[in-house]
A and B are shown apart, each in its own frame.
Chain A
Amino acid sequence: DAGVIQSPRHEVTEMGQEVTLRCKPISGHNSLFWYRQTMMRGLELLIYFNNNVPIDDSGMPEDRFSAKMPNASFSTLKIQPSEPRDSAVYFCASSRTVLEAFFGQGTRLTVV
């Protein structure tokens, strides 16, 4: 298995633009997590899916952020409109529930 695949690896966008981050979890994993990492706030859980259903989205900063998981092999995190304070590394991770999480390489987002 290729592991968790995230795209793009880097994204630079202008303030106000829509940004879509993509994630392909490991086949057979039923849990998917989106995290945001910054120096100031560390690794924050944004949203957690189990069996494609959002279970906990309390970490989603505001209405500008949305996440979907239309099937077991794909998830997106969308920011619309983007702001400079959204600049961070966004990680997707997947696991079999309660077991170890496997992280993707991350998407480094810069909003200018």
Chain B
Amino acid sequence: GQQVMQIPQYQHVQEGEDFTTYCNSSTTLSNIQWYKQRPGGHPVFLIQLVKSGEVKKQKRLTFQFGEAKKNSSLHITATQTTDVGTYFCAANYGGSQGNLIFGKGTKLSVKP
């Protein structure tokens, strides 16, 4: 079945350091979404990328969609303790399939 690979699985950083998580698909995506799940919570939508090469920013978060629409990244600049949680990418393959396939997620811990 369709799957999207996400790395790394875990990332431990010192507060103030940067953080990046990557998603890769073997097939072209229609769009990709990013979600954040706080410990004990549920995934919450962050952003959707649709266009080839698209870059979007939300304060300290930068999201990129690859030119071939097969990979994506989320970069956090100068992490804060409030960034703690698991970050998921979710792939949509388009066509008649509107389902969302989630990556395994990257669990971020931030040491103050």
Q: Which residues of A contact B (CB under 8 A)?
A: 31, 33, 35, 42-45, 48, 50, 55-56, 58-59, 91, 93, 95, 97-106
Nearest-Cβ distance from residue B94 to partner chain A, whole angstroms: 8
Q: Decide yes or no whether B85 CB sits under 8 A from chain A.
A: no
Q: Which of B20-28, B54-62, B64-72, B95-103 contacts A (4 or more CB under 8 A)?
A: B95-103
Among candidates B30, B48, B94, B97, residue contacting A100 with C-beta atoms closer than 8 Å: B48
Q: A104 — which chain B residues lie within 8 A by C-beta? A: 42
Query: Would you give the 0/1 interface string for B70-112, flagging 1 where the beta carbon is closer than 8 Å to chain A?
Result: 0000000000000000001010101011111111110000000
Question: Which residue of chain B is the closest to A108 with respect to CB atoms?
Answer: B40
Question: Which residue of chain A is the closest to B102 with respect to CB atoms?
Answer: A43
In Å, the complex CA distance between A101 and B32 comes to: 12
Q: B103 — which chain A residues lie within 8 A by C-beta? A: 42
- Verify B99–A98 contact, CB threshold 8 A: no
Q: B92 — which chain A residues lie within 8 A by C-beta? A: 98
In Å, the complex CA distance between A99 and B32 comes to: 10
In Å, the complex CA distance between A102 and B35 comes to: 10
- Verify A98–B102 contact, CB threshold 8 A: no
- Verify B97–A55 contact, CB threshold 8 A: yes
What count of chain B residues pass the 8 Å CB interface test? Answer: 24
- Given A98-B31, A100-B45, A105-B42, A42 contacting B100 (CB threshold 8 A): no
Q: Decide yes or no whether B39 CB sits under 8 A from chain A.
A: no
Q: B97 — which chain A residues lie within 8 A by C-beta? A: 55-56
- Verify B33–A101 contact, CB threshold 8 A: yes
- Verify B42–A42 contact, CB threshold 8 A: no
Contacts A/B (CB < 8 Å), 15 sampled: A33-B99, A43-B88, A43-B104, A45-B102, A50-B98, A55-B97, A58-B1, A95-B98, A98-B98, A100-B45, A101-B35, A101-B43, A101-B100, A102-B45, A104-B42
Nearest-Cβ distance from residue A67 to partner chain B, whole angstroms: 13
Nearest-Cβ distance from residue A46 to partner chain B, whole angstroms: 11
Q: A106 — which chain B residues lie within 8 A by C-beta? A: 42
Other than the given A43-B43, A55-B98, A59-B1, 18 more pairs (CB < 8 A) read A42-B105, A43-B88, A43-B102, A45-B100, A45-B101, A48-B99, A48-B100, A55-B96, A55-B99, A91-B42, A91-B43, A95-B100, A97-B98, A101-B33, A101-B45, A101-B90, A103-B44, A105-B42
